[in-house]
Amino acid sequence: MELFADIILDISHSSLDKTFQYRIPKELEERLEPGNVVEVPFGAGDVLRKGYVLGISETPKVPAEKLKEIRGIVTDFAGTESRLTALALWMRDYYGSTTVQALRTVLPMRKKAAPRAKRTLARTVFGPEAQEILERFQKKHQKARARLWEALLVQPRLPYEAAVGGLGITPSVIRALEERKLLTCETDLVYRKPFEAPEKRQEKPVVLTREQKAAVEGILEEDAPGAYLIHGVTGSGKTEVYLELIARTVEKGRQAILLIPEISLTYQNVIRFYGRFGERVSVLHSRLSQGERYDQFQRARSGEIDVMIGPRSALFTPFPNLGMIIIDEEHEPSYESESVPRYHARTTALKRGELEGAKVVLGSATPSMEAYYGAMEGRYRLFRLLNRPGGGRLPGVEIVDLKEELRQGNRSVLSRLLYDKLERCLQEGKQAMLFLNRRGYAGFVSCRSCGHVIRCPHCDVSLSLHRGGRLFCHYCGYSEPAPRSCPQCGSSFIGSFRAGTQQIEKLVGEAFPGARILRMDADTTRGKAGHQEILKAFGEHQADILIGTQMIVKGHDFPLVTLVGVLAADLSLHVSDYRAAERTFQLLTQAAGRAGRGKDPGEVVIQTYDPEHYAVVCGARQDYEAFYRQEMAYRKLSGYPPAGGLLALHCSALDEEKLQKAVLYLGKFARKAAGPRGGTVLGPADEALSKLNDYYRKVLYLKHEDAKTLIRMKNLIEQYISINEGFQGIQIQFEHR
């Protein structure tokens, strides 16, 4: 019996989603599998081109003698690529994309890049003298030098990229230390030296607490794939658990991937892994070029490393024998891709785990509803870390009712309580963070007298105010005129809350003329390192107050920060998104976690018009369970995930009229496809951003209690689009919400 392969030609060139069939020569029959890269003759001149094997079958689509034969296998990675290809095909089907788009996401491009030299900084001074050098730098306030030296004390050999990337050290600082003969910069083209063991032990492994041990042993108990959730408050030692899990995975000859949000890819985090695994670890981050990424993947493939740390895309590291995938802070929105296929790293990791026979471990202080629901349903085994082995108390949290402030005649952005605390904090020479939890487009309308928020009567999310004074629902398209007075209490103090960080900076500056203020938002962090620079300056006490968006609540610990103020919890609470309460709870919990990292106890003030809202109350108390119960009740009642499936169809086009017509057709078709047995189609509605780069944008939502039905509907819609000319020029993306 002759075998045939479906082949897609080189994904880095072709945009065509077309497969070609080729004959498999006898000598390759045993070896060839999906995922292999092969060389095939193509076109009239039989030019040799590379292609991916997608599938193997016994039936030719045309008479077999007309088919050309595969010339040879280019890569052959013992099944790794084959499993990754299978993952890509699953992503294509689940998230909706072309085969090429999916393959490009999963398999890194083979760009021919000149082999880059690997540089390592090696400390040349040891013993007490090394310690003195640190003190000298500190005394002279040479902060960058001190930072680099401190790292070299922990780890005498340091990858150059780790110093420049994670530590934010400039090449001139490195040169200065090199000139003073404190370190050497080694260039290594051939092979990287194994990590020098002796001083590595300086990082003595901690003795795990009972809780930590229970998690490690529980996860490793069975030698079988499985999914696990670690719910542990910040500082409860999750990272130590990851370290141990990875070490034990590597001991068994398997490899591990640790996903962390890009924003937490700081040196402090990464050095713990370097300290434990030395050169067997590699880090991916967005500053790497495509060629460098490819190199890192190549190292993984060839068995040079065992551990890959990185954001979302590190999930596709082609390890030959992947044993574990860990997703830290699994609730982070950055785990969802914004380009097609719009995959979520959590769901995709579970699929990869299944294909590889690997364990998948999720960790968070505030697990996503999906993850916790999964644990409650028994799909993930749950472990809790409730205590902080390193000590540290939770800060005291107070909620201020802004309605009450208004009643008392205070219309400033600072409540009297926050003002007083800020004043005291500054007098004591401490630092404060003021946090404006703006997220996306927050155009909701609320009453400043009674706190009433105008919501969609059909979707139970807030309506948003658009130019022209109408309110719109971004799920179903419902609209109504904006009221002039509050429908609840009649007050005329009704409108949308639109203060930005810049305005707040000005107002706070006026209230505290002597204070040094830093601002961090999308504007001030535009440069490549802007974000790290501001945090660094604040960490070095070059400012007293840091004002910013949610960026400031993540990562970094500032021991001098004793006060955190959340200026308007409502800003994230009432965006028109069914996840608004969940995000608010997460942000409040994180914000509260920023205060009191040092010796002094912290204080947190949360300002809101809705002080009784469960997201605010539970966030202030850091009571995850209570929040989960109430939020889940809402999701069940309204059929939102994880209680049901929600699939978004994002449509965009240059021609607004054509777009409008197309989405109406799409809506009609989807309603038909949903069939009589339940399922709801919401919309079409304008997207929150209704026009972007000249493209008009509209969205349809498909809601169904059974997620599998949604996939079926998606497939029907994809077919419908592909055969219908009316959809030309219209971009359609699917997204599982």
The one of Zn ion, ligand ADP, none whose footprint includes residue 240, by CB under 5 to 8 A per kind, is ligand ADP
Q: Which is nearer to ligand ADP, 234 or 608 (CB)?
A: 234
AA letter at 416? R
Q: How far is the CB of 462 from Zn ion (least distance, A)?
A: 10
Q: How far is the CB of 561 from ligand ADP (least distance, A)?
A: 17
Within 454-473, the residues that bind Zn ion by CB under 5 A are 456, 458-459, 473
Q: Which is nearer to Zn ion, 357 or 639 (CB)?
A: 639
Contact pick of 476, 563, 647, 711 for Zn ion (by CB under 5 A): 476
Is the Cβ–Cβ distance between 562 and 601 less than 8 Å? yes
- The burial of 402, by beta-carbon neighbours within 10 Å (0-12 exposed, 13-18 middle, 19 or more buried), is given as buried
Peptide bond into 481 cis (omega under 30): no
> Cα dist. 345→263, 296, 310, 329, 375 in Å?
16, 19, 12, 12, 17
Contact pick of 16, 78, 117, 489 for Zn ion (by CB under 5 A): 489
Cα distance between the two ends of the chain: 46
The one of ligand ADP, Zn ion, none whose footprint includes residue 206, by CB under 5 to 8 A per kind, is ligand ADP
The three-point CA angle 482-488-490 to 5° equals 75
Residue 235: both structure tokens together: 């500082």
Q: How far is the CB of 363 from ligand ADP (least distance, A)?
A: 8
Q: Which is nearer to ligand ADP, 264 or 496 (CB)?
A: 264
Does the protein bind Zn ion through residue 580 (CB under 5 A)?
no
Q: Which is nearer to ligand ADP, 203 or 304 (CB)?
A: 203
Q: How far is the CB of 246 from ligand ADP (least distance, A)?
A: 13
Does the protein bind Zn ion through residue 449 (CB under 5 A)?
yes
Q: Is 624 helix (H, G, I), strand (E, B) or coil?
A: helix
- CA separation for the pair 300, 81 (Å, rounded): 12
Collect all residues with Cβ–Cβ distance below 8 Å to 227 and sequence separation of at least 6: 350, 353, 359, 360, 361, 362, 374, 379, 380, 381
Taking alpha carbons only, the member of 2, 18, 10, 5 closest to residue 722 is: 18
Q: Which is nearer to ligand ADP, 232 or 645 (CB)?
A: 232
The one of Zn ion, ligand ADP, none whose footprint includes residue 456, by CB under 5 to 8 A per kind, is Zn ion
Q: Phi and psi at residue 618, in whole multiples of 5°?
A: -70, -35
Q: How far is the CB of 478 from Zn ion (least distance, A)?
A: 4
Q: Which is nearer to Zn ion, 447 or 604 (CB)?
A: 447
Provide DSSP, 258-315: EE--GGG--HHHHHHHHHHHGGGEEE--TTS-HHHHHHHHHHHHTTS-SEEEESGGGG
Q: How far is the CB of 365 from ligand ADP (least distance, A)?
A: 7
The one of Zn ion, ligand ADP, none whose footprint includes residue 459, by CB under 5 to 8 A per kind, is Zn ion
Q: Which is nearer to ligand ADP, 96 or 555 (CB)?
A: 555
Collect all residues with Cβ–Cβ distance below 8 Å to 284 and sequence separation of at least 6: 293, 296, 308, 309, 310, 311, 313, 314, 317
Angle, in degrees to the nearest 10, between helices 267-277 and 143-154 = 20
Q: How far is the CB of 389 from ligand ADP (least distance, A)?
A: 4
Q: Which is nearer to Zn ion, 167 or 459 (CB)?
A: 459
The one of ligand ADP, Zn ion, none whose footprint includes residue 235, by CB under 5 to 8 A per kind, is ligand ADP
Q: How far is the CB of 364 from ligand ADP (least distance, A)?
A: 10
Q: Phi and psi at residue 607, in whole multiples of 5°?
A: -95, 135
Q: How far is the CB of 533 from ligand ADP (least distance, A)?
A: 24
- CA separation for the pair 337, 52 (Å, rounded): 24
Q: Which is nearer to ligand ADP, 371 or 465 (CB)?
A: 371
Contact range with Zn ion by CB under 5 A, out of 122-130, 181-189, 476-484, 652-660? 476-484
Contact range with Zn ion by CB under 5 A, out of 478-486, 566-574, 648-656, 711-719? 478-486
The one of Zn ion, ligand ADP, none whose footprint includes residue 239, by CB under 5 to 8 A per kind, is ligand ADP
Contact range with Zn ion by CB under 5 A, out of 88-96, 480-488, 668-676, 693-701? 480-488
Is the Cβ–Cβ distance between 284 and 311 less than 8 Å? yes
Strands 227-232 and 157-159, bridge-based pairing? unpaired
Peptide bond into 128 cis (omega under 30): no
Q: Which is nearer to ligand ADP, 422 or 560 (CB)?
A: 560
b/e 199-216 (16+ beta carbons within 10 angstroms → b): bbeeeeeeebbebbeebb
- CA separation for the pair 688, 457 (Å, rounded): 18
Does the protein bind Zn ion through residue 653 (CB under 5 A)?
no
The one of Zn ion, ligand ADP, none whose footprint includes residue 487, by CB under 5 to 8 A per kind, is none
Q: How far is the CB of 659 from Zn ion (least distance, A)?
A: 20
The one of Zn ion, ligand ADP, none whose footprint includes residue 477, by CB under 5 to 8 A per kind, is none
Helices (H) and strands (E) in the chain, counts: 22, 30
Q: Which is nearer to Zn ion, 142 or 488 (CB)?
A: 488
Summarize as ranges the residues that interact with ligand ADP (CB under 6 A): 206-209, 212, 232, 234-240, 389-390
Query: Which residue's entry shows tokens 């919890």?
Result: 569
The one of ligand ADP, Zn ion, none whose footprint includes residue 212, by CB under 5 to 8 A per kind, is ligand ADP
- CA separation for the pair 615, 92 (Å, rounded): 36
Q: Which is nearer to ligand ADP, 114 or 207 (CB)?
A: 207
Q: How far is the CB of 206 from ligand ADP (least distance, A)?
A: 4
Does the protein bind Zn ion through residue 486 (CB under 5 A)?
yes
The one of Zn ion, ligand ADP, none whose footprint includes residue 476, by CB under 5 to 8 A per kind, is Zn ion
Contact pick of 488, 638, 660, 680 for Zn ion (by CB under 5 A): 488
The one of ligand ADP, Zn ion, none whose footprint includes residue 274, by CB under 5 to 8 A per kind, is none
Does the protein bind Zn ion through residue 447 (CB under 5 A)?
yes
- CA separation for the pair 34, 107 (Å, rounded): 13
- CA separation for the pair 460, 634 (Å, rounded): 9
Number of C-beta neighbours around residue 599 at 10 A: 9
Q: Which is nearer to ligand ADP, 235 or 318 (CB)?
A: 235
Number of C-beta neighbours around residue 568 at 10 A: 21
Residue 144: both structure tokens together: 């960058």
Q: How far is the CB of 583 from ligand ADP (least distance, A)?
A: 20
Q: Which is nearer to ligand ADP, 98 or 209 (CB)?
A: 209
Q: Phi and psi at residue 95, in whole multiples of 5°?
A: -95, -15
Does the protein bind Zn ion through residue 493 (CB under 5 A)?
no
Q: How far is the CB of 236 from ligand ADP (least distance, A)?
A: 4
The one of ligand ADP, Zn ion, none whose footprint includes residue 473, by CB under 5 to 8 A per kind, is Zn ion
Provide DSSP, 327-363: EETTT-GGGB-SSSS--BHHHHHHHHHHHHT-EEEEE
Site residues (CB under 5 A) for Zn ion? 447, 449-450, 452, 456, 458-459, 473, 475-476, 478, 486, 488-489, 491
